[in-house]
Homo-oligomer: A and B are copies of this chain.
């Protein structure tokens, strides 16, 4: 018994393949009676549509293009979630890696070339006019990055570090420093949140030079001075800092409290147990896909930006000052 096709269902339901197609996709047209018969027949035969044929007939590719920065673990997380979430919505993912050498424009070209129906740019910082032009060709959504003129989804970074800092202040810390993430919009936002919380509390902010990686965080360990608490640009740098502190015999959180940003899997490890700010990757991804789908279905034309609230996750690396 070969697998049933549309025609088999049609035969069983006593109608045409056109009707079956309409019913199974929930399109308007067929009457209630036809609908019932078709659904019953499909169910009874265990019918499963053929994706390739469907895509072919509707002239779609079923592919979404993603441009990601190869070096970012946060992007890796986003991609992983995207892989899942987009599969659930019936899309395949084509991943275009961007690196210092191979810039975004190039990656985008390849993706468009490969019939992607829409593009998700992770952490893009391209000039607005380029993005808008691109958006003219194919729907574009900027995920976790500044979205100049195109749809975007991101977490409120400023609020994230602000809340982390406020958490430390509430614990009684006064000398709180921030290890920043170097250049870039996101690092600037996070730094701003820290500064805002400190100034609001009438305290003087102090920012240490940092970066995206473990080594950057570790390097900052020497400059803490008398600080009893630190907010760090991201989890990787925070873990580096943590490691340097432990090796130096500094107890965390007894002597120094540390808070990261991202809630990466790293932070969740039992023996790291880092207090951090969660970006809610699933929500970020789900929203991005919603935007994409809405555009593809032609439901919406105007630009939209979604800003999600960050969520402070308090774990074991923060406590009251010594």
Total interface residues on A, CB under 8 Å, equals: 27
Chain B residues with CB under 8 Å of A48's CB are 113-115
Task: Give the docked Cα–Cα distance between A222 and B83 (Å).
Answer: 41
Map CB proximity to B onto A80-124 as digits: 1 under 8 Å, 0 otherwise: 100100000000100000000000000000000111000000000
Number of copies of chain A assembled together: 2
* A61 interface hit (Cβ, 8 Å): yes
Interface SS, A side? helix
Q: Smallest distance from the beta carbon of A91 to chain B beta carbons, Å?
A: 11
Task: Give the docked Cα–Cα distance between A225 and B270 (Å).
Answer: 24
* A266 interface hit (Cβ, 8 Å): yes
Enumerate A50-91 residues with CB–CB distance to B below 8 Å.
50-53, 55-56, 61-62, 80, 83
Chain B residues with CB under 8 Å of A25's CB are none
Instruction: Determine whether the beta carbon of B271 is less than 8 Å from that of A239.
Output: yes
Q: Smallest distance from the beta carbon of A139 to chain B beta carbons, Å?
A: 18
* A240 interface hit (Cβ, 8 Å): yes
Enumerate A191-250 residues with CB–CB distance to B below 8 Å.
214, 239-240, 242-243, 246
* A183 interface hit (Cβ, 8 Å): no
* A269 interface hit (Cβ, 8 Å): yes
Task: Give the docked Cα–Cα distance between A269 and B83 (Å).
Answer: 25
Q: Smallest distance from the beta carbon of A46 to chain B beta carbons, Å?
A: 8
Task: Give the docked Cα–Cα distance between A85 and B61 (Å).
Answer: 21
Chain B residues with CB under 8 Å of A50's CB are 56, 61, 115
Q: Smallest distance from the beta carbon of A104 to chain B beta carbons, Å?
A: 21
Q: Smallest distance from the beta carbon of A21 to chain B beta carbons, Å?
A: 16
Enumerate A293-316 residues with CB–CB distance to B below 8 Å.
none
Residue on B with the closest CB to A93? B87
Q: Smallest distance from the beta carbon of A138 to chain B beta carbons, Å?
A: 13
Instruction: Determine whether the beta carbon of B214 is less than 8 Å from that of A242.
Output: no
Task: Give the docked Cα–Cα distance between A239 and B272 (Å).
Answer: 11
Task: Give the docked Cα–Cα distance between A17 and B62 (Å).
Answer: 25
Chain B residues with CB under 8 Å of A3's CB are 115
Instruction: Determine whether the beta carbon of A243 is less than 8 Å from that of B270.
Output: yes
Residue on B with the closest CB to A239? B271
Question: Quick one: which of B56, B114, B115 contacts A56, CB cutoff 8 A?
Answer: B56
Residue on B with the closest CB to A3? B115
Task: Give the docked Cα–Cα distance between A62 and B52 (Å).
Answer: 9
Task: Give the docked Cα–Cα distance between A3 and B115 (Å).
Answer: 9
Residues of chain A touching chain B, judged by Cβ–Cβ distance below 8 Å, are: 3, 46, 48, 50-53, 55-56, 61-62, 80, 83, 92, 113-115, 214, 239-240, 242-243, 246, 266, 269-271
Q: List 20 A-B contacts (CB under 8 A).
A: A46-B113, A48-B113, A48-B114, A50-B56, A51-B52, A51-B61, A52-B52, A52-B53, A52-B56, A52-B61, A52-B62, A53-B56, A56-B56, A80-B80, A92-B92, A214-B270, A239-B270, A243-B271, A246-B271, A266-B269
**Which A-B residue pairs are the 3 nearest by beta carbons?**
A243-B271, A52-B55, A52-B56
